[in-house]
Amino acid sequence: MFNDKKVVFSGVQPSGNLTIGNYLGAIRNFSAFSDEYHCYYCVADMHAITVRQVPADLRKRTYETLALYIACGLDPQKNTLFVQSHVPAHAELGWILDCYTMFGELSRMTQFKDKSAKNADNINAGLFTYPSLMAADILLYQTELVPVGVDQKQHLELCRDIAGRFNQIYGETFVIPEGYITKEGAKIMSLQDPTKKMSKSDSNENAVVRILDSKDDIIRKFKRAVTDSGNEIVHGEDKEGITNLLNIYTRFTGKTLEEAEKEFDGKGYGEFKLAVGETCADALSPVKAEFDKLMADKAYLEAIMADGATEAYKNARRTLSKVKRKLGFTDIKR
Ligand code: AQP
């Protein structure tokens, strides 16, 4: 804790065009903390390069992700919005925490296993040590709360273990963070394979609804969504496709599962999928309009990046200095 306010930290990788999974599971929930907490939201470009990126695309998506943060309701006056690589303390603490993270722990991470399978020709050390860098992101700001989707729960638990281990060896250094995972928005599944998480880097465009997709594309993707052979619009373990669509619908409308099931009682899958598509497209339309305005003003986005990096660094360096001192690193005056 730096001021009297407790700290919230989260980030999104600019590794693809953001999906409604990123929106419902993470970004949309971020602004709720702005008044009560000191919030840091970063564009995690250093994490993005654990998978090969086209440089021009990475640059463009970094601006776009920042613009989307603002378009989704994050006021830059109330939140510290910044780009991870603009604050070198992340890389520094990341390396230090690599030395306090065990090979066995990293080997157990399901995201590492999934991404290794997807990128078999590029299983690099960064992909493996991703969780230590994520721990550094969080611990640098003495974070109390980390709003993330449920897919990040395992990384967050490892972050807590790393922090606890460091504290035990060197005395109280890091605040141990808690995850904040909203129940229903926690995991949005692929529209083509509802057993798999919806991911922005999925190569099957029909599986993924992106925040910036056109209304026609959104509706088309929902119309093609995989369901099951039954005809009832109810949730259940054997109805993964319909359950996912109901989950998306309730998240966008604020209705309960029971209310949604009642609304579509007796209706066909076609009508239901169209309603989910239209609801989603209409909810995202103001976000898109705001995004377009922001992207037309690069100078404004760059000013936010610069202010955010300065503010983030100011607080990150305090933790980093403390860590270095505890480790026994020497210091010089420049
Ligand atoms: N499908 C999802 N449902 C709910 N939440 C999700 N998140 C991601 N996908 C879903 C949440 O979005 C935040 C940012 O994620 P990230 O960019 O750091 O990385 P990720 O979890 O690896 O997201 P993607 O979309 O799957 O990216 P790629 O394809 O590059 O790996 C996190 O809070 C995450 O929980």
What are the tens digits of pLDDT across the range 126-165?
Answer: 999 999 999 999 999 999 999 988 889 999 999 999 999 9
Within this chain, do residues 73 and 127 fall inside the same structural domain, yes or no? yes
Name the residue among 153, 137, 165, 182 with its Cα closest to residue 24.
182
* 198 part of a folded domain: no
Within this chain, do residues 93 and 20 fall inside the same structural domain, yes or no? yes
Q: How far apart are the first and last CA of the chain?
A: 28
Query: Which of 145, 152, 189, when mutated, tests ligand 1's pocket best, judged by the most ligand atoms within 8 Å of its CB?
Result: 152
Within this chain, do residues 210 and 241 fall inside the same structural domain, yes or no? yes
Q: Is the CB of 247 under 6 A from ligand 1?
A: no
Span from the CA of 188 to the centroid of ligand 1 (angstroms)? 9
The contacts of residue 255 (CB under 8 Å, 6+ apart) are 249, 263
Span from the CA of 164 to the centroid of ligand 1 (angstroms)? 25
Within this chain, do residues 107 and 226 fall inside the same structural domain, yes or no? no
Count of positions (residues) in the chain: 334
**Structural domains in the chain (count):** 2
Q: At 80, phi and psi to the nearest 5? A: -90, 105
Residue nearest (by alpha carbon) to ligand 1 atom 14 = 12
Within this chain, do residues 168 and 216 fall inside the same structural domain, yes or no? no
Q: Residue 121's domain is classified under what CATH number? A: 3.40.50.620
- Cα 21 from Cα 31, distance rounded (Å): 16
Span from the CA of 310 to the centroid of ligand 1 (angstroms)? 26
* 333 part of a folded domain: no
pLDDT recorded at residue 329: 98
Q: Copy the structure tokens of residue 22.
A: 């990123």
Q: Which amino acid is at 63?
A: Y
Q: Are 227 and 269 in contact, with CB atoms under 8 Å apart? A: yes
Cα–Cα distances (Å) from 266 to 9, 74, 88, 122, 209, in that order, read 44, 40, 57, 49, 27
- Cα 313 from Cα 307, distance rounded (Å): 10
Atom of ligand 1 nearest to the CA of 197: 1
Q: Is the CB of 15 under 6 A from ligand 1?
A: yes
Within this chain, do residues 97 and 217 fall inside the same structural domain, yes or no? no
Within this chain, do residues 164 and 232 fall inside the same structural domain, yes or no? no
Atom of ligand 1 nearest to the CA of 15: 30
Q: Copy the structure tokens of residue 290.
A: 């705001």
Q: For residue 35, count other CB atoms closer than 10 A to its CB.
A: 9
* 194 part of a folded domain: no
pLDDT recorded at residue 3: 61
Alpha-helical regions (H) of the chain: 20-22, 28-30, 45-48, 55-71, 89-98, 103-107, 110-118, 125-139, 153-170, 215-223, 240-253, 257-263, 269-295, 298-327
* 190 part of a folded domain: no
Q: Is the CB of 148 under 6 A from ligand 1?
A: yes
- DSSP assignment letter at 19: B
Q: Copy the structure tokens of residue 244.
A: 């996912």
Q: Is the CB of 25 under 6 A from ligand 1?
A: yes
Residue nearest (by alpha carbon) to ligand 1 atom 7 = 22
Within this chain, do residues 140 and 156 fall inside the same structural domain, yes or no? yes
- Cα 82 from Cα 316, distance rounded (Å): 12
Q: Is the CB of 84 under 6 A from ligand 1?
A: no
- Cα 33 from Cα 38, distance rounded (Å): 8
Span from the CA of 247 to the centroid of ligand 1 (angstroms)? 17
Query: Which of 151, 244, 248, when mutated, tests ligand 1's pocket best, judged by the most ligand atoms within 8 Å of its CB?
Result: 151
Within this chain, do residues 134 and 258 fall inside the same structural domain, yes or no? no
Q: Is the CB of 22 under 6 A from ligand 1?
A: yes
Q: Are 37 and 6 in contact, with CB atoms under 8 Å apart? A: yes
pLDDT tens per residue, range 182-195: 765 568 999 999 99
Q: Is the CB of 190 under 6 A from ligand 1?
A: no
pLDDT by residue, tens only, the chain of 334 residues:
456 799 999 999 999 899 999 999 889 989 999 999 999 999 999 999 999 999 999 999 999 999 999 999 999 999 999 999 999 999 999 999 999 999 999 999 999 999 999 889 999 999 999 999 999 999 999 999 999 888 899 999 999 999 999 999 999 999 999 999 876 556 899 999 999 999 998 989 999 999 999 999 999 999 999 998 888 999 988 899 999 999 999 999 999 999 999 999 999 999 999 999 999 999 999 999 999 999 999 999 999 999 999 999 999 999 999 999 999 999 898 8
- Cα 13 from Cα 49, distance rounded (Å): 9
Residue nearest (by alpha carbon) to ligand 1 atom 16 = 12
Q: Residue 257's domain is classified under what CATH number? A: 1.10.240.10
Atom of ligand 1 nearest to the CA of 150: 35
Q: 256 is in which domain, residue-wise?
A: 205-292
